[in-house]
Amino acid sequence: MSSMTVMDNGGPCSFCTNPLPVGRAVVFCPHCGMNVTLAQCPACSSEVEPGWHYCVTCGRDVSALPPIPGTAKRDVNG
Ligand SMILES: [Zn+2]
Ligand SMILES: [Zn+2]
């Protein structure tokens, strides 16, 4: 059993929807240059860094946001 990769994206970029590299840490999209590790505040679209519980711009509770929108697969299997 090998250790799991921490940053294993592989989903589409949430900004330009181009596919991101798989099997390596991806912070910036190679296609559009956006930081793909940031989520967006649903209220004001400000960048929300991983681990944040509240938006620094509008104060909205963003603790329920997925870490990387677009790559989170909604598997409702069980
Ligand atoms: Zn992109
Ligand atoms: Zn906000």
pLDDT digits (tens, 9 = 90+) for 16-41: 899 999 988 888 899 999 888 878 88
Say whether both 29 and 51 belong to one domain: no
Number of H helices, E strands in the chain: 0, 2
In angstroms, what is the span from residue 78 Cα to ligand 1's centroid? Answer: 32
Among 13, 61, 53, 49, smallest CA distance to 33 is for 13
Say whether both 30 and 45 belong to one domain: no
Say whether both 42 and 58 belong to one domain: yes
Domain holding 43, by residue range, is 38-68
Say whether both 20 and 30 belong to one domain: yes
Asked if the structure places residue 53 within a domain, the reply is yes
Q: Residue 58: its pLDDT value, please?
A: 96
Q: Residue 38: its pLDDT value, please?
A: 78
In angstroms, what is the span from residue 11 Cα to ligand 1's centroid? Answer: 11
Determine if the pTM surpasses 0.95: no
Q: Residue 32: its pLDDT value, please?
A: 92
Say whether both 27 and 43 belong to one domain: no
- Give yes or no for a contact between 28 and 34, defined as CB atoms under 8 angstroms apart: yes
Ligand positioned closest to the Cα atom of 71: 1
